Amino acid sequence: MKILVVDDEQDVKILFEQRFRKEIKNKEIEFVFAFSGEEALTYLDGNNHEAVLILSDINMPGMSGLDLLGRIKKKFQTPPPMVMMITAYGDKENYDTAMELGADDFLTKPVEFTLLKEKLKAIQ
Amino acid sequence: MIKRISVLIIVIHFGITGLCQTKYTDSLKAVLTHTKNATERFNLLNNIVLDLTSFRGDNVDSSATMEMLQIAQELNNDSLKAISYNWLGSFFYLKKGDNTSALEYYFKALPLAEKTKEKRRISSLYFDMALVYFDMLDNEMALKMTRKGGENLPDKSHPLYDFMLLQYEANMVQYFLLAKNADSAFKYARESHETLGRFNEGIAYVYLDHINLASSYAISGNAQKAEEYFTAAMPLQDSIENASTHLYFYNNYIHFLLANGRTSDAVIQSRRLMALGLQHENNNLKLAGAGFLRQLYDTLNQKDSAYYYSMMEAEINSQIFSQANKNKVQSLIFNEQLRSVEEKNKEVAYRNKLKQYGLLAGLGMVLFISFILFRNNRQKQKTNKVLEKTLSDLKSTQTQLIQSEKMASLGELTAGIAHEIQNPLNFVNNFSEVNQELISEMIEEVEKGNTAEVKAIAKDIKENEEKINHHGKRADAIVKGMLQHSRSSSGVKEPTDINALCDEYLRLSYHGLRAKDKSFNAKFETDFDNSIGNINIISQDIGRVLLNLINNAFYAVTEKKKSCVEEYNPSVSVATKKINDKVEISVKDNGNGIPESVKEKIFQPFFTTKPTGQGTGLGLSLSYDIVKAHGGEIKVETKEGEGTAFTIQLIM
């Protein structure tokens, strides 16, 4: 399963790679990283349907996570990849907006990787 | 010839008026018999005496005058008393030629007249006294009295003004005749003649007028004219009883005759004068007559007659100018002088009093003004106190506002800070959890004896530890920054990495705004000059400036996005640049720009374009003050519809 992680924090890459060491080793999960919404879209354009799941931060400079979500759900309709939103602001408004735009799931920071792993297993 | 006719006409005219006068007096006397009221009776009597004496040239009616004095004393009326004494004086003078008694009464009348301030009476008394002095051969005193009378003439509107003026002018003629000043005598004689023409009353004054003109001609050497007027005056003599005027006539006429060598005529006229004197028992006339006759007979070498008249002259002289009379006159004059000195003293005292009152009033005014000034001053002081209080209130309000401005930007920061702290904490937590797992794995691998794998894991752990440390420090810096911001400015400049400061506040601002407004989003770019290094600034103050500028920039692009078509890409960029010894920090946005009309005001306190409640209007004002306090400059470049760039220049 190929997962696209979108976050403006560079260290997210290392963190994910460390957290999913075993899964990556066993080739269960493959991670691709984008550090902005724009970068994520560019990647998706070039690698259509490769990413099954997108994990996106909401608060990013330039294109926000929600913006990205809206565009993905509009652009890649058959079938759109799953998008899971991750944000530091777990408020209702953000949650509602994300759900309205078609987010498949919603996680708040700090990310509980145990929980995330469970969710990923469920998808697989 | 023409002159003679005109004189004749005048004579006839006055003859008729003289007749009318008699009738007038008779009718007054008829009324008098029915008049019982004291004041009315006094006025009637006064009119009769005035008519008889001044207009007709009769001698003063002594019985009428005595009754007037009686009435005046009964009524105890100063004005009436003055009139009565005036008439009594004139009686003694005009009829009797008793100069001493005349002056005595005039001096009695004068203070009363002055007390009542009746100018007509005062001037009349002075003119009458002048006549007495003329007969006493005291010309200078006569002039003095005439002048005083002239100073006290009644107003022109007074019915007797012309009458009084005539007396003044006649007296002046008499003075200048005696002073042998022909020109001046003529001048007054002509004026007097004109004045007489204006009121045409009183045969006595026509007579006087003729004498004035005749005498003026006489001393100026015009014998023919003089003779004409003297001749014209003569027929009037029969209807005039006034001894004093006759004396005036004869004095001048006889002198004229003597000067022209007409001795026999002079003898005739001197005898007439003598006869009149004897008739009225008037010493002044008798003295003059005796004098002329003594002189004439002496010239004619008739020694007996000359001796006779010289004896008579000596006798009358001794009567008139007796020591007793002289003393009396002297004492009268002395008393009058004393009185006038007292009057003057009174006047001086009055003036002094006035001055004193004036001074007091002035002092009062000064006090009043001082009081007002004092009051104004006190009010001002009160106002000043109020103003001072208001000022201090305003200052404390300003301080509070600055504080609330800080807190407002802190509020904007809070959400951003939460996010900014959340991220590093996220890493710290996650990396430490990963490390725990890695350590467990490493132990497993050690037990397996898989050294290569152990080494790889150890390397990861080390890396993660570095990350934990890095993100821990990041969170620490954020918290410190927040504390610094909320604290009052330390005022201490410290070497600061301006690039880091810019980046920190850009991020804080961005996340803060994002947290407040979900729809907010903007691209932000940085372009830092890494050669700057640390610069000496009060970092929390400059941080606040940056936060303000960046917040404003984000606000501007958000506003534009709200009103803009979809193509718009909101963008904010922060750049630093080293220019010689200066550091330039610019905050640019591609918002709507600042309208020209507002540009001038943006640094003014409390100026804001934001809706009420959203902006304090202190952000840019404070920023301006902070930059100025750093000795730097803050500039703004803006183009409507295209964006704004704020540039701060700080000295390194």
CB A24, CB A30: distance < 8 Å = yes
CB B510, CB B547: distance < 8 Å = no
Average pLDDT over residues B235-253: 86
CA distance A74 to chain B (A): 16
Residue B142 structure tokens? 């006569």
Instruction: Name the residue among A19, A59, A110 with its Cβ closest to that of B434.
Output: A19
Residue A82 near chain B (CB below 8 Å):
no
Q: Which domains are assigned to chain B? A: 2-260 (1.25.40.10), 334-481 (no CATH), 494-651 (3.30.565.10)
Q: What per-residue confidence (pLDDT) applies to B484?
A: 62
Assigned domain for A123 exists: no
Q: Where are the alpha helices (DSSP H) in B563-646?
A: 596-599, 619-629
Residue A26 near chain B (CB below 8 Å):
no
Q: How many interchain CB pairs under 8 A, A with B?
A: 62
Q: Which of B312, B293, B325 is nearest to B92 (CA)?
A: B325
Instruction: Name the residue among B422, B464, B510 with its Cβ closest to that of A109.
Output: B422
Quick one: B652 exposed, middle or buried, by C-beta within 10 A (0-12, 13-18, 19+)? Answer: middle
Residue A48 structure tokens? 């259509």
* CA distance between the termini of chain B: 127
Report chain A residues whose CB lies below 8 A from the CB of B522: 61-62
Assigned domain for A25 exists: yes
CA distance A61 to chain B (A): 5
Measured in residues, chain B has a length of 652
Residue A100 near chain B (CB below 8 Å):
no
Report chain A residues whose CB lies below 8 A from the CB of B467: 11, 14-15
3-state DSSP assignment of residue B129:
helix
CA distance B458 to chain A (A): 12
CB B535, CB B609: distance < 8 Å = no
Residue B212 pLDDT exceeds 60: yes
List the single best residue of B420, B423, B441, B571 to mutate versus A (max A Cβ within 10 A): B423
| A18/B434 touch (CB, cutoff 8 Å), yes or no | yes
How many structural domains is chain A composed of? 1
Assign B18 a pLDDT band (cuts: 50, 70, 90).
very low
CB A89, CB A58: distance < 8 Å = yes
- pLDDT, tens only, A6-57: 988 888 898 888 888 888 988 889 999 999 888 988 888 887 667 778 888 8
- pLDDT, tens only, B110-145: 888 888 888 889 999 999 999 888 888 888 889 999
| A93/B434 touch (CB, cutoff 8 Å), yes or no | no
Average pLDDT over residues B362-390: 90
The CATH number that applies at residue A88 is 3.40.50.2300
CB B538, CB B489: distance < 8 Å = yes
Segment among B207-211, B357-361, B561-565 with least mean pLDDT? B561-565
Residue A31: which domain range?
2-118
Nearest-angstrom CA–CA distance, B130 and B23: 32
Residue B2 pLDDT exceeds 50: no
Segment among B37-41, B366-370, B459-463, B525-529 with least mean pLDDT? B37-41
Q: Which residue of B has its CA nearest to A88?
A: B419
For residue B237, what are the contacts with CB-CB under 8 A and spacing of at least 6?
A: B207, B246, B249
Assigned domain for A124 exists: no
Average pLDDT over residues B31-50: 82
Reported ipTM: the value is 0.82
The pTM of this model reads 0.44
Q: What per-residue confidence (pLDDT) applies to B409?
A: 62
List the single best residue of A14, A17, A18, A25 to mutate versus B (max B Cβ within 10 A): A18
Please give the angle made by the CA atoms of B55, B57 and B62, to the nearest 5 degrees: 105
Instruction: Name the residue among A18, A19, A88 with its Cβ closest to that of B423.
Output: A88
| B514/A97 touch (CB, cutoff 8 Å), yes or no | no
